[in-house]
Amino acid sequence: MMDKFDVVIIGSGPGGYVCAIRCSQLGMKTAIIEKYNSLGGTCLNVGCIPSKSLLDSSHHFHDAVHNFESHGINFEGNVKVNLEKMISRKQNVVDQTVKGIDFLMNKNKIKVYHGTGSFVDSSTIKIDNSSGGVTNITFNNAVIATGSKPTNLPFAKIDKKRIITSTEALNLKEIPKKLIVIGGGVIGLELGQVYSRLGAEVSVVEYSNTITPFMDASISKELMRIFKKQKIKFYLSHKVFQISTSEDNVSVHAEDNNGNKVLFEGDYCLVSVGRKPFTENLNISSLGIETNDKGQIKVNDQLQTSCSNVYAIGDVIKGPMLAHKAEEEGVMVAEIIAKQKPHINYNLIPNVIYTWPEVASVGKTEKQLSDDGVEYKKGQFPFRALGRSRASMDTDGFVKILADKKTDEVLGVHIIGARAADLIAEAVTAMEFRASAEDISRMSHSHPTYAEAIKEAALAATQDRALHI
C-alpha cells in the first residue's frame, strides 16, 4: 500500500523546506523529496551560505593586509592565505546548516525521501532513488520547489576545470592569477570580489552597459566606482562569442559595442550569466502544467498551476530568484492549502548583494517611477557623514529614499554601504506600514549607528533638511 500525504513537496531548498515546516505546523501530513543526499538546495549547499562564508573570510584577509595597520595592529612578516583551510571552514558552515535542516525535518515529523520525483498523475508521484529503487506515494496537494540551475553559454561547455560556474568557484584548489568573470550580476560580483581580495586579477565582462541592471542606476554607478578603486576591471557592452581552453589557460573572445574584437586571457573563467528554472524530469506536461518562454511554470495569484492541487514556488516561477522570496511563497502556499488568506506584496521583497560595501534595495527605482509617470522626490545621505562610518573606516556609499511628491509615502529605498543587507529591513518594515519619509525622520535612531543614514535620508526627502550635512 502506498504512503499518502496531505502535501508532498519536490525540492528541499529554502522554499521547499520552509513550506514543509509550515504545512506540518498547520497539522498536515507532509513529505519532502530531494534528489541530492543533503537537504537545503542550491542556497545552503552551493549558493548563499557558502558564498557568504568565503566573502567573510576574504574580507578578514583583506582587512588584515590593508586596514589593520591603520587600527594600530601590526604583524611581523606576511599575512598568508590558506585557501584549503578557508574552503574547509566554508564547508563546515554548510554542513552545520544542513544538519539544522535535518533537525527541523525530524522535529516537525516531515517524511524525507531522497531521489528524483516525477508526477505519475494528479495524485501520485514516483520517486527514483540513486540505487535504482522506485517508490510511489500519493498526495492531496503537491508543491514544485525544484529551484534553478546556472545558465550556460551555448558556445562554451562548462568543463568545471577552466570554465566554471559558481559551484566550482566555491571549491577551487588555488587562487586564480587572472579570473575572467562573464556577467556583472550578483553572483559574478560577489565571487569576483572574493578572489580579488585574495590576490587574483579580476576582469568582469558584461553584455549590458551597466552592472546590476535591476538596481537603481545611481547604486550601480557607485558600486562600480568602488570596485574600480579595489582594482577590479570592468568591460561593459561586451558580447562574448567564444571561449577556448588549454591545459592551464582560458581565452575569452568578445566584441565591444563598436564591433572591435577583444581577447581576455586568464587561468579561470567564471560564467555567471544568470540562472534558469529547473523542471527537468518532473513530467509536468502529463498534468497539463504549462511553462512560459523562460521555462517558468505558469501559476495564478494563489500560486496554483493549471492542475489545481499542484502549486509551484521559488525560482521555477516568475519573479526574482531569491531565497527569501521562495520562503514567503512556501508559507503562503501552506496557508492557502489550510484555507487561510495569506498574501505577499512582491514590491516589498528586498534585493541584496553581499559584496563590501553591501548593496540593498526595496520598492521602486527612479527609472521605474519615471516610467510609471509617478511624481517623486528623493533624499540622499552619504555614509561618510556618519561618526559610526568614520570610526570603522567604512565611509563608502549612501542611502537614497524615494517618496511620493504629494503624499510623502516612501516608494523606494536604495542603500550601498556597510551593513546595507541588515539596514534594508527598516525600509521594508516602514513600507509595509505605508510610512511617509517624515514618519521615518521622526523616529529616534541610536547614535552612533549606520542606521542614522536612513533617518538623515528621510529628513532630506521630507524637506531637504538633513542635519549632518
What whole-number distance in Å separates Cα of residue 356 and Cα of residue 99? 29
CA 100 to chain centre: 21
DSSP code at position 133:
-
| Grid-cell match 567573510, residue found | 56
What whole-number distance in Å separates Cα of residue 152 and Cα of residue 211? 19
Residues 265, 245: contact at Cβ < 8 Å?
A: no
- Going from the C-alpha of 53 to that of each of 40, 196, 421, the distances in angstroms are 16, 15, 15
- Bridge-partner residues for 243, per DSSP? 252
What whole-number distance in Å separates Cα of residue 411 and Cα of residue 399? 14
Beta strand 250-255 with 30-34 is: unpaired
What whole-number distance in Å separates Cα of residue 44 and Cα of residue 316? 17
Residues 37, 12: contact at Cβ < 8 Å?
A: no
What whole-number distance in Å separates Cα of residue 333 and Cα of residue 331? 6
What whole-number distance in Å separates Cα of residue 164 and Cα of residue 144? 28
Q: What are the residues whose beta carbons fall under 8 Å from the beta carbon of 37, sequence distance 6 or more?
A: 114
Query: DSSP string of 363-387?
Result: E--HHHHHHTT--EEEEEEEGGG-H
| Grid-cell match 549590458, residue found | 208
Residues 31, 9: contact at Cβ < 8 Å?
A: yes
What whole-number distance in Å separates Cα of residue 375 and Cα of residue 408? 10
Catalytic residue among 60, 66, 71, 447: 447
468 is a catalytic site residue: no
Q: Which three cell numbers stand for residue 408?
A: 510623502
Q: Which three cell numbers stand for residue 62?
A: 583583506
What whole-number distance in Å separates Cα of residue 146 and Cα of residue 339? 24
Residues 297, 291: contact at Cβ < 8 Å?
A: yes
Residues 223, 419: contact at Cβ < 8 Å?
A: no
Q: Please list the active-site residues.
A: 447
